[in-house]
Amino acid sequence: MAAAALEWLAAACLLLAVQVACEYGMVHVVSETGGPKGKDYCILYNSQWAHLPHDLSKASLLQLRDWTTSMLCSPSDLPAKGFSNQIPLVTRGNCTFYDKVRLAQGSGAHGLLIVSKETLVPPGGNKTQYEEIGIPVALLSHKDMLDIFKNFGRAVRAALYAPHEPMLDYNMVIIFIMAVGTVALGGYWAGSRDVKKYMKHKRDDEPEKQEDEAVDVTPVMTCVFVVMCCSMLVLLYYFYDHLVYVIIGIFCLASSTGLYSCLSPLVQRLPFGKCRICDNSLPYFHKCPQVRMLLLALFCVAVSVVWGVFRNEDQWAWILQDALGIAFCLYMLKTIRLPTFKACTLLLLVLFIYDVFFVFITPFLTKSGNSIMVEVATGPADSATHEKLPMVLKVPRLNASPLALCDRPFSLLGFGDILVPGLLVAYCHRFDIQVQSSRVYFVACTIAYGIGLLVTFMALALMQRGQPALLYLVPCTLITSGTLALWRRELGMFWTGSGFAVNTSLL
């Protein structure tokens, strides 16, 4: 029961990953004295003040003047000779962005960088103010300002530009392969495992072992699961800094269990380490475990602990997170079973509504105007921990992009976008074996999942904002599976999951 509760609690955390688009640009800094090679830093700007050139060669390289001792809120804050042909650095606060940029423009500045110790936000104004101002204004983090003066000294020149964002990064190919591969492998494994257990039960006429039992999802369990998802999302929205570590702990436990479950069939094929340790006081190992299985358990725990300790190492920790995440998804697909297409339809449609509601509707219900899903998945702007939820596949951006330089160096796909359609794929494989259909349902549903994921990526590229992937994946997989069953005149059996004619050649 404890293991099942952990599985459902972990599953409730899956549907939380989306991406957020902002107007990012770059400030290219070089030393006036010919020091180190130039370097780009992230800025956040509002193109309604003034557009930035997309090409660095077309951007003017101007003197960057440190005026951060001033807030630049009144004429008395201006230098005696003004900011002619310069880009001043001023401190954020005490007055509006418009007040600062109006004074800077009036004194001859060709741009304005506002240094902020807080979270960067696009500098806003109104239509009249936008029409009055003709120079770009952007926010630069205080940490980056310190790095500029540390590496280049005080005599520096800077150019503001905003390179074109690639419609899709190449890392989307990696995410696509990982997601479709996990769904296909998990669906195949789950279906084959269920049939093999059935055949063993019929042959031996013995009750199944209680370990690694699959959990059949009932309508009541579906309702409880969705309530858990909603409750956890809202709790994370209000108590993120406290609960994020709980989610990280759950992920470590669940992913190590999943990794053990995935690797144990391979380890059991090894010709050594078969001796057993019977006299032991180890928890959960009272049945004389083999040495090799005990070593595997220690390895899986070690991998999970290493990720937990070094999870914020962006250069390589994402590889461990993806490996653990894929193992976790495979384990969940093997353990949670939808017994009928009716159950599949109920679960997928309810989670479809859940995903759309928390991405598109909640911005109208929150004071900040932000989606609850967005706030939780990306981490609240005012979070003191700066931790991110681990329930995503993440791959670093491969294209040169402001997003890679700024606060979105990774592309993300939530585990829920793999697991939820994957449960339907697993059901399709089991039904293929029931009706001896040469895996036509399994292949069709897997291809439909891949097409739905491609549509998600296209929507992301066209709209330049995070997309609830289930909005596209659920219709693609459900409609394809249902239409195929209707065309084959098997919709009744497919809906109820009735009939079990095992064809061992399909195993």
Which structure tokens are listed for 196?
A: 């093999």
Which structure tokens are listed for 222?
A: 């579906």
Dihedral angle over CA of 427, 433, 438, 440, nearest 10: -20
Backbone angles phi, psi at 187, to 5 degrees: -65, -40
Q: Which of 169, 194, 322, 355 is catalytic?
A: 355
Of 171, 263, 194, which Cα lies nearest the Cα of 442?
194
Of 327, 321, 195, 210, which Cα lies nearest the Cα of 261?
327
Calculate Rg over the CA atoms of the chain: 28
Q: Which of 169, 194, 322, 417 is catalytic?
A: 417
18, 172, 329, 400, 472 from 446: Cα distances, Å: 22, 18, 15, 32, 14
252/136 Cα distance (integer angstroms): 46
56/343 Cα distance (integer angstroms): 55
Neighbour-count burial for 141-169, b at 16+ CB within 10 Å, e otherwise:
beebbeebeeebeeebbbbbbbbebeeeb
Helix extents (H) in 288-385:
291-309, 317-335, 341-356, 372-378
Q: What angle do CA 442, 434, 259 make, to 5 degrees?
A: 55
Q: Is 417 tagged catalytic? A: yes
Helices 291-309, 240-267: crossing angle, 10 deg rounding: 150
User: What is the number of other CB atoms lying within 10 angstroms of the CB of residue 382?
Assistant: 10
215/338 Cα distance (integer angstroms): 8
338/331 Cα distance (integer angstroms): 14
User: What is the number of other CB atoms lying within 10 angstroms of the CB of residue 105?
Assistant: 20
The amino acid at residue 333 is L
Q: Is 205 tagged catalytic? A: no
232, 383, 503 from 240: Cα distances, Å: 10, 7, 50
Type and span of the H or E element at 159:
strand 156-161
Residue 62 · residue 104 · CB < 8 Å: no
Residue 441 · residue 432 · CB < 8 Å: yes
Q: Which residues are catalytic?
A: 355, 417
